[in-house]
Amino acid sequence: MAIIAPSLLAADFGRLREEVACVEAAGAKWLHVDIMDGHFVPNLTFGPGVVSALRPYTNMTFDIHLMVERPENFIKEFAEAGAEWISVHIEACPHLHKVIHQIREAGCRPAVALNPATSLRGVEWILDEVDMILIMTVNPGFGGQRFIPAMLKKIEELAKLIKDQGKEVLIEVDGGISQDNAAAVCRAGAQVLVAGSAIFGQQDRAAAFKALHRAASQAG
């Protein structure tokens, strides 16, 4: 059964604590938190202070998506703020192997994110080291964008690569995930589905979370 991770980016920032409580009560086990620096992506969001402020109010697993340059400079702060998972972008990490180890040493589970145009080639040699690969299904930076259909094949190819190497690495997808494509991404091999506007963009967050969960389970 797929994990649905609501993305805080689409939440009402004036009511973060209530928004988090609402999706948790609906059954969410993970919360996806997008960290943007205005350089790696043309937008700004939260810092570790927001993560640590929310930590006492929820038991959800914090899935921190670092869309920042020099992510190695922020790993310790986010680990201390209460992150369980930390994703870094391959495009921002010339020393990826080292950064992955840094995440594990900080006590978190490492994931590597790939922009839509980035080849799977770069993760071939690090599948031994990571616990999850995040396939961006839109260009990172903003919520509410359209899912890029070509990413279905990329997910399938990654699933095959992981299987051929006999590894236990999760596949997460992020961007434009909705009830319309949830089953298709699961069928392609995704196990963690990030959803911003499809949940926090809806009037009834709990109903939207449940509907997405049901749609994902149609994958069979």
Residues engaged in binding ligand DX5 (CB under 6 A) = 7, 9-10, 32, 34, 65, 138, 140-141, 143-145, 174-177, 194-198
Contact between 65 and Zn ion by CB under 5 A: the answer reads yes
Rama region for 53: left / alpha / beta (φ>0; ψ in -120 to 50; rest) = alpha
CA 166 distance to own-chain centroid:
23
Tell me how far, at minimum, the Cβ of 205 lies from Zn ion, in Å: 18
Which of 11, 71, 174, 209 is close enough to bind Zn ion by CB under 5 A? 174
Q: Which does 10 bind (CB under 5 to 8 A by kind): ligand DX5, Zn ion, none?
A: ligand DX5
Amino acid found at 82? G
Contact between 63 and Zn ion by CB under 5 A: the answer reads no
Q: Are 100 and 130 in contact (CB under 8 A)?
A: yes
* C-alpha–C-alpha distance, residues 114 and 92, integer Å: 10
Tell me how far, at minimum, the Cβ of 43 lies from ligand DX5, in Å: 8
Give the residue among 7, 65, 11 at the shortest CA–CA distance from 41: 65
Q: Which does 195 bind (CB under 5 to 8 A by kind): Zn ion, ligand DX5, none?
A: ligand DX5
Give the sheet arrangement for strand 85-89, strand by strand: 3-6, 192-195, 170-174, 132-136, 109-114, 85-89, 61-67, 30-36
Q: Which does 176 bind (CB under 5 to 8 A by kind): Zn ion, ligand DX5, none?
A: ligand DX5
- Reported as type and span, the H/E element at residue 42 is none
Nearer to ligand DX5, 9 or 169 (CB): 9
Nearer to Zn ion, 19 or 174 (CB): 174
Q: Helix 16-26 crosses helix 205-217 at what angle (to 10 degrees)?
A: 40
Tokens of 135: 């396939």
Nearer to Zn ion, 65 or 89 (CB): 65
* C-alpha–C-alpha distance, residues 45 and 149, integer Å: 27
Catalytic center residues: 34, 174
Nearer to ligand DX5, 24 or 174 (CB): 174
Tell me how far, at minimum, the Cβ of 34 lies from Zn ion, in Å: 4
Tokens of 193: 């589905």
Nearer to ligand DX5, 40 or 169 (CB): 40
- Residues contributing to the site for Zn ion (CB under 5 A): 34, 65, 174
